[in-house]
Amino acid sequence: MGSNVFDLIGPIMVGPSSSHTAGAVRLGAMALKILGGDLAEGKITLHGSFAETGKGHGTDLALVAGLLGLKPDDERIVEAKQLAQAKGINISFEKSNPPDAHPNSVTFELTDKLGKQVRVFGSSIGGGRIIIKGINEFNVEIMGDYPTLVILNRDLPGVVAQVTSLLATTQINIAQMRVSREKRGAKALTVVETDQTIEPAALELMRKLPSVYQAMAIEPLE
């Protein structure tokens, strides 16, 4: 597997640790993209070393900064909690150490201004890189490197084929695709990483499919 610039020299950032600062900012930013709305409230549960040493490394500030849309090199990261408070966004923190969690992991429970809620679990894996491993009750693998289509659908034959056919019709090439489900015939989550940006018109076509409950397009992290 080839290396990228983050692997070689690390990201430009504010703070002492790429995992605890740059990675944490990117985790917050990705969670906000998955929420897909204006953040009103968030509960952040820290796991592993995020829970043990995160405050000393400024991880809590970095996570909030990401939720506010700040970049890893933004000097306002140190003021993130005050900035959130000024915007009327209530952020609370908890700690938990499940035995199988990655050392630098976090769970976001977010609510937007319209009352929509989402739970996002992810890890900072070094050099500012991240992986999202869970959205609500579903296991996923999202790195934030590609435009990503996330579809909540009924687990029926032909749904995935309809999605891929629509993508082909709109000249969107699939880089990777994963499907997970609650149980046979129940809800499933389809995650498609693509080479091209998913246009709003294509997203609307996805949402009109009879077996699709929700569809969102997530832009890659910068």
Tally of structural domains, the chain:
2
Whether the per-residue pLDDT at 3 is higher than 70: the answer is no
Note whether 99 and 175 are same-domain residues. Answer: no
Tell whether 52 and 131 lie within a shared domain: yes
Same domain as 96, residue 21: yes
Q: What's the pLDDT score for residue 54?
A: 57
| 3-state class (DSSP) for residue 78 | helix
Query: Of 82, 112, 136, which one is at a domain's C-terminal end?
Result: 136
pLDDT of residue 216: 92
pLDDT (tens digit, 9 = 90+) per residue, 94-149? Answer: 998 776 766 789 999 999 999 999 999 999 998 889 999 999 999 899 999 999 99
How high is the pLDDT of residue 186? Answer: 87
pLDDT of residue 33: 93
**What is the spatial distance between Cα 80 and Cα 160, in angstroms, rounded to a whole number?**
40
pLDDT of 81 higher than 90: yes
C-alpha span between 96 and 81 (Å, rounded): 21
Same structural domain for residues 101 and 194?
no
Same domain membership, residue 113 and residue 33:
yes
Cα–Cα distance, 198 to 50 (Å, whole number): 34
Q: What is the pTM of this model?
A: 0.84
The range of the structural domain enclosing residue 204 comes to 148-218
Q: What is the dihedral of CA 126, 98, 131, 67, to 10 degrees?
A: -90
194, 126 in Cβ contact below 8 A? no
Instruction: Based on the fold, state whether residues 123 and 155 are members of the same structural domain.
Output: no
Per-residue pLDDT tens over the stretch 27-63:
999 999 999 899 999 999 999 888 886 566 789 999 9
- CATH number for the domain including 131? 3.30.1330.90
Q: What is the CATH number of the domain that holds 167?
A: 3.30.70.260
> How do residues 137-188 score in pLDDT, each as one tens digit?
998 999 999 999 999 999 999 999 999 999 999 999 999 999 988 778 789 9
pLDDT band at 12 (very low <50, low <70, confident <90, very high): very low
With respect to residue 142, please indicate whether it lies within any of the assigned structural domains.
no
In the sheet with 90-95, reading across from the earlier edge strand, the strands are 90-95, 39-48, 104-112, 117-126, 129-135, 138-142
For residues 48 and 121, membership in a common domain is answered with yes
> Is residue 90 scored above 90 in pLDDT?
yes
Q: Using an 8 Å Cβ cutoff, are 70 and 25 in contact?
A: yes
Residues 64, 132: one domain?
yes
Residues 214 and 149: beta-carbon distance below 8 Å: no
CA pair distance 213, 192, nearest whole angstrom: 16
Residue 141 lies in a domain: no
Domain assignment present for residue 14? The answer is yes
111 and 156 assigned to the same domain: no
Which of 77, 108, 136 is a domain's end point? 136
